[in-house]
Amino acid sequence: MNKAEILIIDDEPQILKLLEITLESHDFKVWKAETGKAGIILAANHPPELILLDIGLPDKSGHEILKELRIWYNKAIIILSVQNNENDIVSALDNGATDYLCKPFRTAELLARIRSAIRLYQTKNNSSIIESGDLRIDLAARTVSKNNELLKLTSTEFNLMAIFAKNQGRVLTHQFILKEIWGVGFQTETQYLRVFVGTLRKKIEEVPNQAKRIITENGVGYRFS
């Protein structure tokens, strides 16, 4: 079986070594770059399944590298950074990052995020059926079933469910969701979104006030798990 390839773009030798040892011990093939320019060249010559990208690079900001990569690279990019302010996280996610982890991070969590991100892009195909646990989302028929029973969703609730289902494991910012569903001009209406997420949770969660499917990322958005 071919190993999934991961490119690490980070200028901290200790982090590079730690990530290399960790990932290779879990059967990933690792490429490394210590500058943004070198990372872009490596990604172009050896397109990986996933990129781990540091924000604080010596030649260019990781945000700039992210934008450049997203012009042509269409697989998972996870941001690794010591910066944990909400604006920085939202900016990275809105510019195309799949996920965001703050340093220092737990190895188990990093591996879980990597597996989830790789699955996300591997399953992006033309199938109109998405299954997640006991949920079955039929994008063509615009229906959602739970334990083989159809749920009664409004049009807006279904649109919200579809966005979450197509982006399982990915953090979606408030602004992204609002723009996708209601269009430009609604990106600041976070309370509006909160209401619809609440009604959807009541229908798909086992315990609505203990969300396990639609996870709140405080100050940033939501993740469908």
* Alpha carbon 208 to chain centroid, angstroms: 23
pLDDT at 206: 81
The CATH number of the structural domain formed by 129-224 is 1.10.10.10
| Whole-number Å distance between alpha carbons of 69 and 65 | 6
Q: Are 31 and 5 in contact (CB under 8 A)?
A: yes
pLDDT at 1 over 50: no
**Residues contacting residue 61 through CB under 8 Å, at least 6 positions apart:** 36, 55
**Exposed/middle/buried for residue 66 (C-beta within 10 Å: 0-12, 13-18, 19+):** buried
Look up the CATH superfamily of 5-122: Response regulator (3.40.50.2300)
pLDDT at 127: 64
Where in the chain are the domains?
5-122, 129-224
**Predicted confidence (pLDDT) per residue in 65-108, tens digit:** 999 998 899 899 999 988 777 888 888 998 889 999 988 889 99
Average pLDDT of the residues in 126-130: 72
| Whole-number Å distance between alpha carbons of 132 and 49 | 22
pLDDT at 29 over 80: yes
pLDDT at 143 over 50: yes
Q: How many other C-beta atoms are found inside a 10 Å radius of the C-beta of residue 38?
A: 15
Q: What is the mean pLDDT of the chain?
A: 88
